[in-house]
Amino acid sequence: LYDTVKTFEAIGYKVLVVRHPQDEYFKELEEIKIPILNAGDGKGNHPTQCLLDLYTIYDEFNTFENLNVLICGDIAHSRVAASNKDALERLGANVLFSGPKEWEREGYPTISMDEGVQWADVVMMLRIQKERGASLEGMSDEDYLDLYGLNLRRYKMMKPHAIIMHPAPVNRGVEIDDSLVECPQSRIFKQMENGVLVRKAVIKRAFGYSYFKD
């Protein structure tokens, strides 16, 4: 990885965007002089997804202070869960997690899904990270939705002002009922729209504003 990145630096690239299966791959690249944007490292961090999530939440509520955020699903393998926990807690939100016991994570406080959806101002669903080893043997998609997903029954338990989020891609009918992906309280496609703006801003900052002014 270091040699690849060093090669791009040597031949004149100004910014690199790196997505890598290794946790905290960036520690190997501390001697690189050009900006590196982390597009996801293993199950460790996903900073730009976190930023677009923060932007979406702030656009909705104009604050993070004392907001209740429920993050649901495959917590153990999710870099989205890790980045959002860190940022949201720093900004004053209350963050709880819900999902299968097999996918709990040390230091991530849990609540049952039924209790959580009633408590939350933001319900953030996560997909099963099969590419990182997550699996629930013998459980159908319907079973998972009933036990751990956001189905119609739980949707009716949510606060009227609460919003639904998901980093996508969405597994319709697994972690979220198909009819809820674009329901009135869903902000899933708004997140995607915000993601373009946030990532453009991050790239612009990495290049330096003068690069664009010139």
Residue 209 has a pLDDT of: 65
What residue type is 46 in one-letter code? H
Going from the C-alpha of 140 to that of each of 48, 148, 184, the distances in angstroms are 32, 12, 28
pLDDT number for residue 44 = 85
How far apart CA 62 and CA 146 sit, in angstroms, is: 33
Residue 124: is it exposed, middle or buried by C-beta count within 10 angstroms (0-12/13-18/19+)? buried
Q: Which domains does the chain have, with CATH numbers?
A: 2-45+193-213 (3.40.50.1370), 47-188 (3.40.50.1370)
- Supply the pTM of this predicted model: 0.89
User: Which pLDDT score is estimated for 212?
Assistant: 55
- The whole-number pLDDT of residue 130 equals 57
**Mean pLDDT per segment of 10 residues, for the chain of length 214 residues?**
97 96 94 95 91 98 98 92 97 97 93 98 88 64 93 98 96 95 98 97 86 54
